[in-house]
Amino acid sequence: MAIFKGAGVAMVTPMKENEDINFEKIEEYVEFHINNGTDALIICGTTGEPSTQDVDEHMQAVACAVQAAKKRIPIIAGCGSNNTRTSEYTSKTCQKNGADGLLMVTPYYNKATQKGLIEHYTRLAKGVDLPIILYNVPSRTGVNLLPETAVKLAKDCENIVAVKEASGNLSQVAKLAALAQDSGCLDIYSGNDDQVAPIMSLGGLGVISVLGNIAPKYTHDMVMAYLNGDPATCTKMQLDAIDLINALFCEVNPIPVKTAMNLMGMEAGPLRSPLCEMEPANLERLRKALTDFGIKLVK
């Protein structure tokens, strides 16, 4: 059974001005998403800046979201690392703290082989009972999780149930869907906001979205249109949002989306170094895209 169908949101981690995590805002954001139809929340995925958090505060952020959600919405904890032992610790801790699932990015920087990826994920899957979503984003990690590898892992490990596909390669996603369809072993979520409709046309169940941080109801409605048998509406909504989606990725994520939230008065706070404020030209592009989309700005 799928962890969720629809629009999951890769939630930002709000910070105070001193760059401490703002746990009160995490609680506020959880309520915001529940009230606006978000179907799942991913805490401390790439958008949540986990690479600049120490392990303890990473675990505290996940636990805070779990407690705020009170099982009203699935909380999926980002537990990927380039250190298998660290991922073992964080995944077990998140299970203990009540997470509903785990998102595990391919190990970054190490550039593991496909054999190494199989050994890494198999070891992690054996250590927990929670369902696991593999996360393939080669542009950030330097390694590509091949379709054959993902399907083998799903067949060999009962709790590896899905892939967040952010390779940007629709031919690869099609191959993944073809290999997985006979056994039904692997759900697919779009990891790119500009490819929701195409990936759903290949059998995807939804998206793990950045756009959903600022337009959660729109993102939910777009995905549900497809799931409810109206692909034309889903496609139109996808295209209507494309300028905003592109603006949200005109600098490395999560710089633009966190900036957008601050412009909207959502008080996401600062980015942690080495991320920094947007270049002026890109900031103006983002402002224009937000207002053209009908989002009111307060700054």
Considering the entire predicted model, what is its pTM? 0.97
Long-range contacts (CB closer than 8 Å, 24 or more residues apart) made by 234-242: 234/196, 234/197, 234/200, 235/197, 238/194, 238/196, 238/197, 241/193, 241/211, 241/215, 241/293, 242/194
Q: Which residues are catalytic?
A: 135, 164
| CA within 13 Å, CB half, 196 | 37
Q: Which two tokens stand for residue 141?
A: 């990690």
Give pLDDT tens digits along the chain (299 positions): 689 999 999 999 999 999 999 999 999 999 999 999 999 999 999 999 999 999 999 999 999 999 999 999 999 999 999 999 999 999 999 999 999 999 999 999 999 999 999 999 999 999 999 999 999 999 999 999 999 999 999 999 999 999 999 999 999 999 999 999 877 889 999 999 999 999 999 999 999 999 999 999 999 999 999 999 999 999 999 999 999 999 999 999 999 999 999 999 999 999 999 999 999 999 999 999 999 999 999 98
Distance between CA atoms of 120 and 147, rounded to whole angstroms? Answer: 16
Architecture of the domain whose range is 6-229: Alpha-Beta Barrel (3.20)
Every domain of the chain and the residues it spans = 6-229
